[in-house]
Structure 1
Amino acid sequence: MFNKKVWGSLVMAAVLLVTVGCGSDAKSTSEEKTDSAAKVYKIGISQIVEHPALDATRQGFIAALKDAGFVEGENLKIDYNNAQNDQTNNLSIAQKIAGDKDDLVLAIATPSAQAVVQQVKDTPVLFAAVTDPIAAKLVDKLDQPSGNVTGASDSNPEAIAQLMKFISTNFKEVKKVGLIINEGETNAIVMADKAKTELAKYGIELVKAPVTNTSEVKQAADSLVGRVDAFYVTLDNMVVNGFDAIVQTANKKHIPLFTSDRDTVENGSFATVGFKYYDHGYQVGQMAVDILKNGKKTNELKITVPDKLDLILNLKAAEAQGIAVTDQMKAEVKDPANNIIQ
């Protein structure tokens, strides 16, 4: 017969072994969870220049990440780089980002996206504020882009068509529209060609005034005075960077000024057909969440375009430019509470 004391000791030893084993497993599981929760995601951002539309894009992107639980200073580290519209800086930033171990890269505006896509090959790349990603050679197709690149275009060709129709319908005296343009920027060329085609339908000519740097914008605007009946500005980073000079000329000479995004309307142009760049950036931020949190691949995320288009009017700019805003113009605004700027 077994000694009861011996038997009791054996049972207690077995219990201790099981408890220690379970405790070890629990500790291991706890450590794994802690390690996972402690992961800090790194995102590199390249932005070509500071101006309201691109800044709003970045802010919307970061807001979408925050809403999904990615918070700077906690589990998110953002390396923000601005090229200040200098192509040498732009390339250097792309090369630096390529050498970093980021979880994801965001390129804001076409020149930044082109440089980043050339340099970054193994990390998911998202782009924003790009007019034509195929013409810019960022992706091969829109629905299922191959490689490591996807994102959102900030141009819906329908927006240009609607704006040019608005001009022809409400400004019968406009026979020539002046365009200050950096012809070295792919997105500006694409939009200019679309505007030219649309204006031609109404017998209106597009007159270009090329620039090669921002300091030439005012001179270009002044050179169009007396030659055109209205101004138009595309999503041209170089030109938008000198936008205040165009506003000054338009106001001084009472020339209607039309642009391609809400931010420039808020900053002095009369009208556009557009959307909020903050919302555009937020949309790209949601794509980043799909990649970082939900494990999506870039080729599973199609290129998106703005789909909430509306006419946006600035009544103060209208007064400064000598424009009589009619009830017919206002009636074309779908959301007057937000898109008629007093």
Structure 2
Amino acid sequence: MVGKKTFKTIISMLLIGTTLFGCGASSTPVNTMGEKPKNKVKIGITQFIEHDALDSARKGFIEGLKSKGYEDGKNIEIDYQNSQGDMQIAQTIAQNFASKDKDLIFAIATPSAQAALNATKEIPIVITAVTDPVKSGLAQSMESSQNNVTGTSDAVSIKTQFELIKDLAPKAKSIGIIYNTSESNSEIQMEEAKNVSKEMNLNVIAAGVTNVNEINQAIDSILSKIDVLYVFTDNVVASSIPLLVDKCYNKGIPIIGSERGQVLSGALATVGIDYFKLGFQSALSAVEVINGKKPSEVPLSTLKEMTLSINEDAIKKLNINIPSSILDKSEKVKNEIK
């Protein structure tokens, strides 16, 4: 017969074994630290500023999560914060997310991504709308960040955009560019634009700004010297498209954008990416992380699909002729331009 003490010991061992077995059999996704996450995966979304491209990326991310079975209020909990173009606020948001021990941070745009990485080297960070993650100090390479970052880049070829300028405004020689001197994303694009302009015998006339309030003065300083205005995927400048449209179109100066949202806001044309699709693609990377992969094991990616978008109302406002060979292969959008 088994003694009372021995019997109690056996029961205790069976209970412990059952508990351990139950944990091992759990289908709940694990995080990159190998720990069992909370019932709801806590996701902090930090967006640098509001404009069509970044808003679309956020919506695409949420939809991408949903397509894989992760829905806010059910098995994930989303905390969305917007820094309204203020880097200090972006840093505060990132620090708060880190201190509240989010399971994952989704950082939209370069400044928000940099703030998130400065705030935590442990919590997985999925980025999007970052032109060059490597040059921006967010990753060692596109193949592997070698840290807690993965996600998508919105890099587009400036040479392709300048070729579009040649097609739509063949007489243009001077390209105006307003860029944010405090954003590495813009500095990188500025360097590429200068190199491409030399190859294509174009003259770049640039004006630097540090915030939205300086846009008006910057465009006024170059307006009389340029034939076309080109707009980067620069968050500060992109949020001011309506102002730039008003200033430029009254002088008959076309605006070429770097992404579709800028055309929807009034720019004449672009060969760009769909930021909703970019955000959706970012969500697929996030799901890999939620389900147990380390961010460094998930390569960073770009969106290969490019679309020529032309604003029909801008054509009318500028009273210009665009070859049918270009119009026929473009996506036509409308934006009422006063």
Q: Which band: TM-score by shorter chain?
A: 0.7 to 0.9
User: Which residue in 2 is equivalent to 1:324?
Assistant: 321
User: Which residue in 2 is equivalent to 1:289?
Assistant: 287
Contact 2:151 2:286 in 1 (8 A): no
* 1:172 Cα deviation after fit: 2.0
Contact 1:108 1:127 in 2 (8 A): yes
1:244 to 242, 245, 263: 242
Q: Please show how residues 87-126 of structure 1 align to structure 2 within 5 Å.
A: 87-126=87-126
Question: What SS does the corresponding residue of 1:143 show, helix, strand or coil?
Answer: coil
User: Which residue in 2 is equivalent to 1:186?
Assistant: 184
* 1:122 Cα deviation after fit: 1.1
* 1:72 Cα deviation after fit: 0.9
Between the aligned partners of 1:68 and 1:152, the Cα distance in structure 2 is: 18
1:178 aligned partner, one-letter code: G
| Structure with more of its chain in helix, by fraction | 1
- Please identify the structure whose Cα radius of gyration is greater: 1
1:305 aligned partner, one-letter code: T
- Percent identity for Structure 1 against Structure 2: 34
User: Which residue in 2 is equivalent to 1:302?
Assistant: 299
Q: Please show how residues 198-217 of structure 1 align to structure 2 within 5 Å.
A: 198-217=196-215
User: Which residue in 1 is equivalent to 2:139?
Assistant: 139
Contact 1:57 1:278 in 2 (8 A): yes
Between the aligned partners of 1:53 and 1:167, the Cα distance in structure 2 is: 21
Give the aligned CA root-mean-square deviation in angstroms.
2.4
TM-score by length of 2: 0.86
Question: CA offsets, 1:187-217, max 9 Å, x none?
Answer: 1111122222222222110100111210121
Question: What SS does the corresponding residue of 1:253 show, helix, strand or coil?
Answer: coil
Change (3 A) 1:201 1:38: closer
Question: Can you give the 5+ residue segments of structure 1 that lack an aligned partner in the other structure?
Answer: 1-20
Question: What SS does the corresponding residue of 2:39 show, helix, strand or coil?
Answer: coil
1:272 to 267, 270, 273: 270
Moved over 6 A (4+): 32-38
Contact 2:138 2:145 in 1 (8 A): no
Between the aligned partners of 2:62 and 2:303, the Cα distance in structure 1 is: 19
1:341 to 309, 330, 333: 333
Question: CA offsets, 1:231-269, max 9 Å, x none?
Answer: 011011111122211011122111010111100111100
* Of 168-177 and 301-310, the range deviating more from structure 2: 168-177
Give the number of equivalent residue pairs: 311
Question: Can you give the 5+ residue segments of structure 2 that lack an aligned partner in the other structure?
Answer: 1-13, 30-36
2:300 aligned partner, one-letter code: I
